[in-house]
Structure 1
Amino acid sequence: MSLPASSLRLSVDTLLGPGGALQSALEAYEYRPEQLQMARSVEKAFNERGYLLAEAGTGTGKTLAYLVPALLSGRRVVVSTATKTLQEQIFFKDLPLLRERMGLTFEAAYLKGRSNYLCLHRYDAFRKDPQFASREEGRYWKHLQAWASRTETGDRSELELPESFSAWSRLSTTSDTCLGSKCPVYENCHVTRVRRAAESADLLVVNHHLFFADLALRGRGQRGEGVLPQYDAVIFDEAHALEDAAGSHFGHSVSSFRLEDLVRDALGALATTDSRFGMLSSLVVRLRTHSEALFSQAPRVLGLKEHEGAVALNPERLALLSDSIEQVKESLSALSAFTLSEHEPELTLLTRRCAELVADLSFLEKVESHDHVYWAEARGRGVFLRASPIEIARELQERLYGGVDTVVFTSATLAAEGRFDFFARRMGLYDEEGVPVASVRTVSVPSPFDFEQQSALYLPTHLPDPTAPGFIEAAAEEIIRLCEVTGGRAFVLFTSLRNMERAHALARGRLPYQVLLQGERPKQQLLEAFREVPSVLFAAHSFWEGVDVPGDALSLVIIDRLPFASPGDPVVAARIRQLEARGEEAFGGYQLPQAALALRQGFGRLIRTRADRGIVAMLDRRIVTKSYGRAFLTSLPPARRLNQLDALSAWFEGTSAPEREDDVDF
């Protein structure tokens, strides 16, 4: 890293403290002692080569609090985020501020997965015979060609393409399909350019999925070939999302999509005039026939229904598919034997892809690893067979912690009931005997917002229990009444798509505001529409976190029920069984703290600035009537608690209302 000559005088205090460089750089700057407290903790972690768990409440400025000490450390640091929004904010807003306004000199790189970039080699092949799934998709072709001729990055985000634009999978590449250095356009490849820029960068900005895809490629316990250059330290922002992201890359997965892609690429690997095409074609047709047979019968045999979650796999169920699985494996092996003797890069790559599919199918059909959970799911027209580690703790210990000596985990929600134990154990920061695997420090930095004045927590007890008949109908009526209090401007967050769709159907015709529904438009378009006029947005999982709507546009967040993960989910069920097998109490040790952290994320959508003011309404009476409800309440910010709608309305309007004991004491 190259810092200016004056860098010896730079520190987190001179940059972020009172009268420091940040204050000079920003006209509307307000000194935040919470930000400096966190920055000093991160600086200490870098100096001591240790691990840090840093919970930083909304509004503390945690991004700069970790970027400044990271850049001053003189080490190559990876910053990994859960959302594209934060990734872009860091690279296009925060880093330019540090470079241009605060006197730091450094090189940074912004990396995405290969599938985000135009593959020049596949683009050349595609444009010789462009095929589209629909006439609507075909209308984008001229626009895409013009962009391809002028783009310097090849990043799809530069294009205004629909999220469902299916042809993009044939214009981009993945770790399965990339030819690497054997590609004829390797030197001009957009991904090659990004990777080379990363090799000279001091700071790498990535997302969790790319980070763990890289870690999985490097192999267990070694630092082999990956998609990221060597790095010295890692900062995980939005670290509460790590477990799911990591688990998806440390397992095995075979899908109908994966086999369809292999068939398509194999057919395109040789020209029809090549003398070998007939043999290759017959092998591919055989593979396609057997794979279509497998995935057409799998949903019926496994009891899988579209849009109804996942089903656990067991030996008895998979035994019913054993003949079909063996036929697919034999077809893959036959294709692999043919391509093994060939020399074209596309064909030699097929050999590896076939071998990996055979290995994954073999692992899946045995269903014998006690450390993995096996399940199947249907998504759209695709069917997936999956296995992933029940816990990622050991994977992180073996793959990550032995290779880097400094790791910072940060989020607005890491602690449950004021303790970091739950998160630390899930991340493998303690071994099975409870001994830390490294020097682990914690810091909890409160939000600078005045939640007692800025927010109210509405906890009605007159609604039915969420498991009782009629709950969603009663909830819809309460949603309508609550929206009258704030004039709309509400997020209505659900723990299931079914409840979301039902409540939306019941309430939409009675709400005199713009009513939006998750899934009707892309997420960013929904947010833009929400900000334009008073609106009510019915949404589920993807709007619980990573969404920022400051100001008056959002004044009410309604949550239908406590966000316990479904025990019917195969992954959740496997984690519960594993804890119980160890003699541990799964509800208090896993389900409750996980739900408390999720609820804090939902609450966090409301207050985003010092000027914001609004209401969070929890329609699940169990938060008050059940003994475990206190665990949720103690995890939430100290908002004014009310359970009467008239008192809530008076609070929101800023008028005085007579206090009742049941309005303030839960």
Structure 2
Amino acid sequence: MALTLVRSFNVDTLLGPGGALQSALPAYEHRPEQLQMARSVERAFTERSYLLAEAGTGTGKTLAYLVPALLSGRRVVVSTATKTLQDQIFYKDLPLLKDRMGLEFEAAYLKGRGNYLCLQRFNAFTKDPTFGSREEVRYWPMIQTWAGRTETGDRAELEIPENFSAWPRLSATADTCVGTKCPLYEQCFVTRMRREAESADLLVVNHHLFFADLALKGAGRRSEGVLPLYEAVIFDEAHALEDAASGQFGTSISNHRLEELARDAVAALPETDSRFTTLRALSARVRTHAEVLFTQAPRVLGLAGAEGGVPLKPDRMATLAGPLELVRQALAALSSFTSSEREPEMLALARRGSEMAEELTFLEKADSTDHVYWAESRGRGVFLRASPIDVAKEMRGRLYGGVDTVVFTSATLAAEGRFDFFARRMGLYDDEGVPVAEVRTIAVPSPFDFTQQAALYLPTHLPDPAAPGFIEAVAEEILQLCEVSGGRAFVLFTSLRNLERAYELTKSRLPYQVLKQGERPKQQLLEAFREMPSVLFAAHSFWEGVDVPGDALSLLIIDRLPFASPGDPLVAARIKQIEARGEEAFEQYQLPQATLALRQGFGRLIRTQKDRGAVAMLDRRIVTKPYGRAFLESLPRAQRVEGLDDLRRWFHADSN
């Protein structure tokens, strides 16, 4: 490791008044909250303990954990939920600490394998390049030129569409990578990335990569992991950990995955090889039976028209028993095809076929009480999945025994002022309620003055969300609210169905640029939103990790309280598990989860000390139901207004 520090450095000399940060930043403002958090993180590293740190928007929490992490002298992984924060840490915060504040260290930015060009697969693709459309063909010369000069192999260097269909054939996954047996292993971009990581003091990753690596190592495939040994972990945007961990610790078989296996099998041998004809026939058998299975599955499983996933019910899975068995047999035949140690790609095909057959059996039996079995469709993809109901056990078994310092931080960790909900979900207490390690907590408030900067509009004249005509009433309210704010609004929905309906009812009546999630890539939508007064209709991914400071965003409209749908298979399984323990699922799980989600949504509005704007919650239950108090108490202390005239006066007060 390369860490060499001036020993007089500590969090106070770096982040306190008159410290290195003040010297480095002309517009420096001392933030006591930042220093308070940094001292707590420093203590966690010194005592080798666990810390839950909630830090309100504007605290400067990134530097508050980076400084003590770098001063610790240990190799630390920083894991985030979004690429935006990864980029900020690596390209903005770390250069500030290194170039302008005098810290000497080495850092590495790591992404999943799928982000990097695989030289072996690139060479194979070059022999027979095929594309999903004529539009994609025009990118090929650029990709070839780039492949010959890139030093990282990171597709982020390329200006190609996010959905560029040929990229999966130019990159590798944990399934397709043959590791040290690859003839181009030494030149491999992932190998280079790994070696950079092995000499780094700080590793910047995302949650999906972190848990994918942990899952591979837990499965005994340590050589296929990406991360080197580390001594401590900092989870930023920690509120997103449960979903990320659940996805990576689960099992998933899809038509895409089987199609990729069949395609790779055909490409594994040259046509001149005497075995090629047999291998091509085995590949065609996998493809044919997979197409039958995944053509029938949406109808049989009830996926048509479903929003989100549907449970894999035993009677419906029994209807698919024939197609499932044929796919399993085809995979078994492919995995038993003759290969030797001198043919790593053939060995990888055999392993993949065998593993997928086992996973299909696991999915079909659906008899593990620790997992929930479900299916979903996304675009042309159909997925059969099994996810752990509770990631707490996985976290205890895979992570906590191997590291003595873990910091969880986010603007939203505490529900109703308590960390119990998050701590239980993360497995920081065992089944008897005993902490797995010394766990400390700290809640650092935002430096923003929400009483002056934000208003909270809570109308009670709208129908209940379950009542007929709710979304139509919401659409009319959106029109009036946007007239008050002059557009400049995010309209956030808890379901795609409501989003689509409200968008159709209002798009031609709003005198502003109207944008909708999914019409363009996320960054392009945000750029267009900033350019002129706009109204953006969005769901899911825009509830968090979106930063629009300034006047461009002055109004945040939320259609309903963000309770997770009890019809979602994973949510339903968690509710059932909690109730089986004799606990109350609404109080223990659904309500705290929803309050955290609402706080995340609210957090999109005020991003700097100069921002000013209003949040409109159109779900009357926040006022009329007893549990509404939990939501109101969890939100920043904004000025509450109940009528449109009051809201209009509040907005106009800004210009007086």
Question: TM (normalized to structure 2)?
Answer: 0.98
CA shift at 1:315, angstroms?
Answer: 2.0
Listed as ranges, the matches of 1:222-371 within 5 Å are 226-305=225-304, 308-341=307-340, 343-371=342-370
Q: Within 2, Cα distance between the matches of 1:541 and 1:655?
A: 31
In 1, Cα distance between the equivalents of 2:504 and 2:291? 37
Comparing 407-416 and 334-343, the one that deviates more? 334-343
Q: How do 1:83-232 residues align onto structure 2 when only pairs under 5 Å count?
A: 83-219=82-218, 226-232=225-231
Answer yes or no: is the 8 Å Cα contact 1:306–1:378 preserved in 2.
no
Aligned match of 2:64: 65
Give the distance between the partners of 2:22 and 2:282, measured in 1 at CA: 67
Q: Residues 300 and 342 (structure 1 numbering): CA distance in 2 closer, same or farther, change over 3 Å?
A: farther
2:373–2:386 CA contact under 8 A, matched in 1: yes
CA–CA distance in structure 2, aligned partners of residues 490 and 603 of structure 1: 13
Partner Cα distance (2:256, 2:223) in 1:
28
Query: Aligned residue for 1:440?
Result: 439
Alpha-carbon shift at residue 307 of structure 1 (Å): 5.6
Question: Any conservation in 2 of the 1:221–1:398 contact (CA below 8 Å)?
Answer: no
Contact 1:223 1:403 in 2 (8 A): no
Cα distance change, pair 148–307 in 1 and its aligned pair in 2 (3 A) = farther
Instruction: State how far apart, in whole Å, the 1-side matches of 2:232 and 2:351 are.
Output: 32
Question: 1:291 offset after TM fit, Å?
Answer: 1.4
172-181 vs 436-445, which deviates more? 172-181
Counterpart residue number, 1:409: 408
Q: Distance in 1 between matches of 2:619 and 2:537?
A: 17
Map Cα deviations across residues 399-426 of structure 1 (whole Å, 9 max, x no partner).
0000000000000000001000000000
Native 8 Å contact 1:56 1:411 kept in 2: yes
3-state DSSP of counterpart to 1:323:
helix
Q: State the percentage of identical aligned residues.
A: 76
Structure 2: gaps of 5 or more residues? none
Q: CA deviation at 1:224?
A: 6.8
Residue in 2 that maps onto 1:663: none
The SS at the match of 1:510 is: coil
Contact 1:489 1:554 in 2 (8 A): yes
2:628 equivalent to 1:629: yes
What is the CA deviation profile of residues 113-144 of structure 1, one whole-angstrom value per residue up to 9, with x for unaligned ones?
00001111111111121111110111111122
Q: Which residue number corresponds to residue 378 of structure 1?
A: 377
Contact persistence 2:79–2:234 (CA under 8 A): yes
Aligned-pair distance for 1:389? 0.5
What is the letter of the counterpart of residue 55 of structure 2? A
Q: How does 1:36-51 map to 2 (within 5 A)?
A: 36-51=35-50
2: distance between equivalents of 1:2 and 1:378? 47
Q: Which residue is equivalent to 2:548?
A: 549
Structure 1 equivalent of residue 614 of structure 2 = 615
Is the partner of 1:188 in helix, strand or coil? coil
Corresponding residue number in structure 2 for 1:531? 530
8 Å contact from structure 2 (residues 2, 200) kept in 1: no
Over aligned residues, Cα RMSD in angstroms?
1.4
Which residue of 2 is the match for residue 387 of structure 1? 386
Residues 220, 399 of structure 1: 8 Å contact kept = no
- Kindly indicate whether the alpha-carbon contact (under 8 Å) linking 1:64 and 1:94 is maintained by their aligned counterparts in 2: yes
Q: How big is the shift at 1:298?
A: 1.2
Counterpart in the other structure of 1:396: 395
Query: Could you say which residue in structure 2 is the equivalent of 1:418?
Result: 417
Please show how residues 538-577 of structure 1 align to structure 2 within 5 Å: 538-577=537-576
Asked if the contact 2:4/2:105 (under 8 Å) is kept, the reply is no
Shift in Å at residue 510 of structure 1?
Answer: 1.2
Quickly say closer, same or farther: Cα 1:634–1:533, change in 2 above 3 A: same
Q: 2: distance between equivalents of 1:326 and 1:632?
A: 49
CA–CA distance in 1 between the matches of 2:451 and 2:359?
53
Structure-2 separation of matches of 1:249 and 1:366: 20
1:513 aligns with 2:512: yes
Q: Work out whether residues 222 and 399 of structure 1, in 8 Å CA contact, stay in contact via their aligned partners in 2.
A: no
Q: CA deviation at 1:511?
A: 1.0
Letter aligned with residue 232 of structure 1: E
Counterpart AA for 2:16: G
Q: Which amino acid aligns with 1:51?
A: Y
Aligned to 1:664: none
User: CA distance change for structure 1 residues 48 and 515 in 2, over 3 Å: closer, same or farther?
Assistant: same
Give me the whole-angstrom Cα distance separating, in 2, the residues matched to 1:210 and 1:284. Answer: 30
- Shift of residue 343 of structure 1? 3.5
Amino acid at match of 1:273: T
Deviation (angstroms), 1:308? 2.5
Structure 1 residue 86 displacement after superposition: 0.2
CA distance in 2, matches of 1:443, 1:28: 28
1:208 deviation in Å? 0.2
- Asked if 1:488 is matched to 2:487, the reply is yes
Conserved 8 A contact 1:221-1:399: no
Q: Deviations over 1:431-471 (max 9, x none)?
A: 11111111000000000000000000000001111111111
Q: What residue number does 1:31 align with?
A: 30
Contact 1:306 1:379 in 2 (8 A): no
Q: Deviations for 1:184-226, whole angstroms, at most 9, x for unmatched residues?
A: 2211111111111000000000000000000001116997752
Q: Find out whether 1:12 has 2:4 as its counterpart.
A: no
Query: Structure 1 residues 317, 655: closer, same or farther in 2, change over 3 A?
Result: closer
Q: 1:226 to 1:3 in 2, by over 3 A?
A: closer
Task: Provide the rounded CA distance (Å) in 2 between the counterparts of 1:222 and 1:361.
Answer: 20
Does the C-alpha gap of structure 1 residues 306 and 132 become closer, same or farther in structure 2, counting only changes over 3 Å?
A: farther
Hey, what's the Cα distance between the residues in 2 that align with 1:177 and 1:488?
48
Are the counterparts in 2 of residues 35 and 60 from structure 1 also a CA contact under 8 Å?
yes
Kept in 1, the 8 Å contact 2:3–2:106? The answer is no
Question: Aligned pairs, how many?
Answer: 656
1:152 partner amino acid: E
Q: TM-score, normalised by structure 1?
A: 0.97
Question: Counterparts of 1:200 and 1:113 in 2: how far apart (Å)?
Answer: 19
Per-residue CA deviation, residues 342-396 of structure 1 (Å, 9 max, x unaligned), is 7311101111101110111111111111110000111111111100100000000
Cα 1:225–1:342 change in 2 (3 A) is: closer
Instruction: List gaps (5 residues or longer) in structure 1.
Output: 658-666
User: Displacement of 1:627 after TM fit?
Assistant: 0.4
Is the contact between residue 456 and residue 616 of structure 1 (CA under 8 Å) also seen in structure 2? Answer: yes
CA contact (8 A) 1:600 1:635 kept: yes
Distance 2:423 2:4 in 1: 37
